[in-house]
A and B are shown apart, each in its own frame.
Chain A
Amino acid sequence: MRSMFSFRAEGDEFIPPSSKDFVLPPIFGDNEFTTKPIFLVIFSVIIISIFFIAASRKASIVPSKLQFAGESVYAYVRNDLGKDIIGHEFMRFVPYLFTLFVFILTNNIFGIVPLIQFPTMSRISFAYVLGIITFGVFHYVGIRHHGIFKYIKDILFMPGVPKPVYILLTPIEIATYLIVRPLTISLRLFANMFAGHLLLMIFILGGEHLLQGAIGLKLVSPFAFAFGIAITFFEFLVQCLQAYIFTLLTALYIGGALADEH
């Protein structure tokens, strides 16, 4: 929105969208906690709750369309992400994985829903919170399963490795478990949503700018809009893929913490 107004004010100059376009003003007064992404999170929780309560309320052996839709999402997360990756103790973690998958998917898809069109996860703080929760969960599970000393020992000194290698391996393992894992899992989600939203803004705002130019430029602008629509479909793919990858990595980390040797 901001860049749309600002480049009109500047006249001919096209100001490409930048990271400033993601800083949205508060809706109510000066309260920083009433920006659009926060309302989107609350809204997503409400629609997810309504959908799955409605889908599971009248469960029958021959499912209705709504029940089928809800159950197929659940079955996908349980079988493909839970059972195949975590192993025999997977049922304990299915609620977390399922919540994570549906929450990220809904918030990502907000990026291409008309009138909403802002992926919540393109604000990095939301992605960090999810990364920190996953970080807490897989360490807690590992400590509960192995006991704190054995768990830390397995991280520091990976079994079955020649002793001199520990000089190199131990710092890498510490960095992996404490910094790299939570950081990459949240940065990946954030950066994908950020880059996708930026790409959409470039095509749509660029098309709009071309429309205000000379007659030759006006003829080109439909191509920019057509590309914007094509990128929207591509974004839908990326948004589903990122929800899948975040849940897949969480399942892998939990599975790794539960495994008998790292």
Chain B
Amino acid sequence: MTGTLNLVGYGLAAIGPGLAVGMIFAAYINGVARQPEARSVLQPIAFLGFAMAEALALFGLVLAFVL
């Protein structure tokens, strides 16, 4: 079997953002469950945090191909 170690490294690097995205949405669901009327305020914040955390995973993906 052949391949590059980059992809193994990317798999490891994706753990962090994966946990982060899970925690962000857990907090968002928690917030909405406690106070349903705060949903529209929390939604952009949750997606912004999600985008920030996801960006790290995607940088890893790009670097896995580039390097």
The reply on A249 being an interface residue by CB < 8 A is yes
> Please, how many angstroms separate the alpha-carbon atoms of A244 and B43 in the complex?
12
Chain B residues with CB below 8 A from A85, complex form: 44
- B21-57 Cβ-contact flags toward A at 8 Å (1 or 0): 0000000000000000000100010011001001100
Q: Which one of A84, A191, A248, A249 has the greatest number of beta carbons of chain B within 10 Å?
A: A191
Distance from A241 Cβ to chain B, minimum over Cβ atoms (Å): 8
Contact A184 B55 (CB under 8 A): yes
Contact B61 A195 (CB under 8 A): yes
Distance from A165 Cβ to chain B, minimum over Cβ atoms (Å): 22
> Please, how many angstroms separate the alpha-carbon atoms of A184 and B65 in the complex?
17
A19-B65 CB under 8 A given contacts A84-B40, A188-B51, A249-B48: yes
Chain A residues with CB below 8 A from B65, complex form: 18-19
The reply on B58 being an interface residue by CB < 8 A is yes
A188-B55 CB under 8 A given contacts A19-B65, A195-B61: yes
Count class of interface residues, chain B: 10 to 19
Distance from A124 Cβ to chain B, minimum over Cβ atoms (Å): 9
> Please, how many angstroms separate the alpha-carbon atoms of A184 and B54 in the complex?
10
A18: nearest chain-B partner, CB-CB: B65
Q: Which one of B51, B54, B65 has the greatest number of beta carbons of chain A within 10 Å?
A: B51
Residues 214-262 of A contacting B (Cβ, < 8 Å): 241, 244-245, 248-249, 252
Contact B48 A248 (CB under 8 A): yes
> Please, how many angstroms separate the alpha-carbon atoms of A85 and B55 in the complex?
21
- A58-81 Cβ-contact flags toward B at 8 Å (1 or 0): 000000000000000000000000
Chain B residues with CB below 8 A from A244, complex form: 47
Contact B44 A187 (CB under 8 A): no
A19: nearest chain-B partner, CB-CB: B65
Chain B residues with CB below 8 A from A249, complex form: 48, 51
Chain B residues with CB below 8 A from A187, complex form: 55, 58-59, 62
> Please, how many angstroms separate the alpha-carbon atoms of A245 and B55 in the complex?
12
Distance from B38 Cβ to chain A, minimum over Cβ atoms (Å): 13
Distance from A233 Cβ to chain B, minimum over Cβ atoms (Å): 19
B43: nearest chain-A partner, CB-CB: A80
A195: nearest chain-B partner, CB-CB: B61
Contact A248 B61 (CB under 8 A): no
Chain A residues with CB below 8 A from B48, complex form: 245, 248-249, 252
- A180-205 Cβ-contact flags toward B at 8 Å (1 or 0): 00001001101110110000000000
> Please, how many angstroms separate the alpha-carbon atoms of A188 and B53 in the complex?
11
What are 21 residue pairs bridging A and B, where the CB atoms are less than 8 Å apart in the complex? A18-B65, A19-B65, A84-B40, A84-B44, A85-B44, A184-B55, A187-B62, A188-B55, A188-B58, A190-B62, A191-B58, A191-B62, A192-B58, A194-B61, A194-B62, A195-B61, A241-B47, A244-B47, A245-B51, A248-B48, A249-B51
